[in-house]
Amino acid sequence: MPLALVVAAGAWMGYYDYRAFGSPRILPYTVNRAAYAVAPYFVWQSRRPEPVYRHELMRKFYTEFETQQYAKIHSFSGFLTQALLKVVEVLSFFAAFALLPPLIMMHRALFDKRIRLLVFCFLVVVVGMGIEIYFIPHYVATFTVLFYAIGLQAMRHLRQCGGKDRPAGAAIVRLTVAVCVLMAGLRLVDVPLHIGPAEWPVSHWVWQWYGPDHFGTERAGIQAALEQLPGKQVAIVRYGPGHYILNDWVYNSADIDDSKVVWAREMGAPDNRELIDYYGDRKVWLIEPDASPATVTPYPVSAHPQAGQR
């Protein structure tokens, strides 16, 4: 059954890649990195020449935001520091504080003969984390079951710690489970109690065990509203001067021209005119995400965008 799931998922991904790029072996990320990236994937790879960017936001993301990590990791001390930070980030993301106590028995779990295969897979994941330059904990989300299986084995060893006369281990395990149940309940009422994290900047919560409930909902609501309108639409996005670089609203499905709504960044007047003329049969809207709330107005086709808003 697991093999059938892997084959089915691989076949679907291959079909998607074939429809989008003409070959089942070309991955979306491969196309993206070849077109825009300066920093490579892995520590032994060299930095690529900077391509020509048509948008300042894109240039800042790929040449400043990503390359900062590349610069940090290319020294022995920097590599060790970043490797340690990755471990801390993964622990924060998958264990938070509630699941940390059982990890005091991690040494026993790792040498447990019953989970040798899981331990081997775990070591492979750790090595992969170390050699990858740009890392966020959810990149290893496919190994969630692996992490929790090893953690569960650590809990089993902890439960036996102390023996029947000194049930300290069992008490810690029960406390861990109780804290997890309480945190799950707290998560359900965080919105009415106003204790959830803010949506931006994302760097304040992306390493944590949960993020804001409303993340991405504003753009999704505008997308849904535009899809309900008759005919096809173009959404031109104008960012404010202090726009947060990771809050990008411009992305489209693989078949852009046949999409009900096409999203684009505002550029200079000639480029805007070229875009509007290309989609001459569509209604054009101006989206301003940095307003509170985000605004949607008919795009002033004859107006020139303000300087600095490219």
For the segment 213-233, what is each residue's pLDDT rounded down to a tens digit? Answer: 888 899 999 999 999 999 999
- Predicted pLDDT at 163: 65
Q: From CA 121, how far away is CA 113, in angstroms rounded?
A: 14
Share of the chain above pLDDT 90, in %: 45
User: What is the rounded average pLDDT of the residues 63-72?
Assistant: 86
Residue 308 backbone class (left: φ over 0; alpha: ψ -120 to 50; beta: rest)? left
Average pLDDT over residues 93-106: 91
Residue 236 has pLDDT above 90, yes or no: yes
pLDDT at 44 over 60: yes
Which of 246, 217, 220 shows the shortest CA–CA distance to 235?
Answer: 220
Average pLDDT, integer, range 25-44: 88
The mean pLDDT of the chain is: 88
Q: For the whole model, what pTM was predicted? A: 0.77
Residue 265 pLDDT greater than 90, yes or no:
yes
Report the pLDDT value the prediction gives residue 262, as an integer from 0 to 100. Answer: 97
Interval 56-71 mean pLDDT: 87
Torsion sign, CA atoms 15, 21, 24, 30: negative
- Give every strand in the sheet of 233-237, ordered side by side: 261-265, 233-237, 283-288, 295-298
SS3 call for 286: strand
Give dist(CA 248, CA 292) in Å, integer: 16
What is the Cα Rg of the chain in Å?
24
**Pair 285, 234: CB distance under 8 Å:** yes
pLDDT at 149: 94
Confidence band, pLDDT 50/70/90 cuts, at residue 308: very low
Higher pLDDT, residue 304 or 99? 99
Give the tens place of pLDDT for each residue, 109-137.
Answer: 999 999 999 999 999 998 888 888 888 88
